Amino acid sequence: MASHPFEYFLWTIYPYLMLGSFFFGTIIRFTFFHAGVTAKSSEMLEKKRLMVGSTLFHVGIIGVFFGHIMGVLIPKAWTDALGISDYVYHHFIAIPAGAFFGILATVGVYMLCWRRFRNHRVFRTSSTADLIVIAALTIEITLGMLSSFVTAPVHPDFNYRTSLAIWARQLFYFQPDFRLMLATPLMYKLHVIFGLMIFGAFPYTRLVHALALPWRYVYRRFIVYRRRPQV
């Protein structure tokens, strides 16, 4: 630890600061500020790019999320026990699925980011937090794509399942070994650092609406709209 104080902080202390902010901040937000858990819509200001970008982004990010769950939380020993080799796992499962959902998320978030900053009406009605959130998501998804499809081919000997993934699982039982991250390529490190930062800021931004399941829409009565007759 003495020779790597900054690395020790990044991979042992910083993750718990961000995850603690996520969990306790979310509890506080839903307990005391539940009325503010919403995503302010700008659909009336511009609809076409919003619909296309939002659909691509949400479908892509859901796929990417479950891909991360499978890649990080499922140990390599489990897939080995099923007879799935590293070659098959990466070239027939991880890379095709990651490319498909990653491209969807990337195209979607870039459309939403362009719309947020370049559409005059949308930009003028956006809060500072709105601009920071969409910029942060754009950077994080870009870092993820660069890690998977640029850095990975440059470092063919690096296997995140035997280093980064093990470190990530160790966080859950409070014994992270920061040394597992020392040889991790920089792009992967930036992706993890930025992702943890987004988790830490999650409860204090519009992103928190993702945790608000709309159960009331299941049983609420239909809203009837009637057109005023033309005179």
**Residue stretches of the annotated binding site for heme b:** 58, 68, 191, 209
What CA–CA distance (Å, rounded) separates 119 from 151? 33
**Residues of each annotated binding site:** 58, 68, 191, 209
Give CA–CA dist 83/92, Å, rounded: 14
> What would the DSSP string read from start to end of 17-48?
HHHHHHHHHHHHHHHH-GGG------TTT--H
Q: In the chain, count of helices (H) and strands (E)?
A: 12, 0
| CA angle at 167 for the pair 163 and 170, rounded to the nearest 5° | 145
Can you tell me whether residue 55 is helix, strand or coil?
helix
Measured at the alpha carbon of residue 132, what is the angle toward residues 52 and 108, in degrees to the nearest 5?
20
Q: Give 87-124 as a 3 state SS string.
A: HHHHHHHHHHHHHHHHHHHHHHHHHHHHHHHHCHHHHH
